[in-house]
Amino acid sequence: MSTSPTSPVTQVGILVLDENAPGGSAVKQILDSEGWRVRIVPDTQMLLSELKTGEWSLVIADVAMTGLDGPAFITLRELASVSAADGGRVRVLYLIPELASGQYIVHLEAARLPYVLRPYHLHDFLEKVSDLLVEVKAIEGPIRQVRHEFGALRKKKKLAARSNSMFASRDSFSYTDEELAEYEKQEGEASKSRRKLASTSATPTAE
């Protein structure tokens, strides 16, 4: 009996524009861990060339490299403005250098373009990447359990920033050292409990 061939699964493609080698490598490492295909390009000319291939669902771009009125910024803005219902398949997330945040944030928010400030928080970054990929149907749902990672603590912060999480203050997604330490402590205790339970279950009972 013959079976119909299955369609190959298309790997999610993410293009990163970043001339900062350590910064670009860190972003790539985070996204590689999700099994996605990530490519870093060092200049806007190469970025525009890659965009023509249609292989990319998300562009993560250093806004200091695209500027606010250059061809790369204008192209990305146009691509990001097409809704998924109208065939839009690309979204953009901007990286803003910490020391230059003032000159970019106002313009990006006016254009309703999502961004993260450097140095960004891992869960803030992953959540925005996840939301944008879901928006263009590149993935079916949020990656990992980003929205639930910190339980009640995260829920409280999300409620505080409910008005518009994509453009909410960075502080709404930040965690103090004490909060992170408490989370890691809880995770460690939960892990111990799981190992203990697994060990107990594996122990043979006496006849």
- pTM score of the predicted model: 0.66
Mean pLDDT over 109-126 rounds to: 88
Q: 22-26, 36-40, 165-169, 191-195: which has the highest mean pLDDT? A: 36-40
State how far the alpha carbon of 89 is from the alpha carbons of 54, 64, 94, 108, 179, in Å.
9, 24, 17, 20, 37
For 85-105, b/e burial (b = at least 16 CB within 10 A) is: eeeeebbbbbbbbeeebeebb
What is the distance between the alpha carbons of residues 130 and 141, in angstroms, rounded to a whole number?
Answer: 8
- Encode pLDDT of 87-96 as tens digits: 999 999 999 9
CA-closest candidate to residue 24, choices 13, 44, 38, 12: 38
Q: In what order do the strands lie in the sheet with 13-17?
A: 37-41, 13-17, 58-62, 91-96, 115-117
- Encode pLDDT of 55-73 as tens digits: 999 999 999 999 999 999 9
Instruction: Check residue 62 and report its DSSP letter.
Output: E
Between residues 45 and 21, which one has the greater pLDDT?
45
Dmax (CA) of the chain = 78
For a pLDDT cut of 90, what percent of the chain falls above it? 44
Confidence grade of residue 45 (pLDDT, cut at 50, 70, 90):
very high
Sequence-ordered list of residues with C-beta below 8 angstroms from that of 13, at least 6 positions apart, any chain: 36, 37, 38, 39, 55, 56, 57, 58
What is the distance between the alpha carbons of residues 148 and 145, in angstroms, rounded to a whole number?
Answer: 5
Taking 60 as the threshold, does the pLDDT of residue 193 lie above it?
yes
How high is the pLDDT of residue 138?
Answer: 93
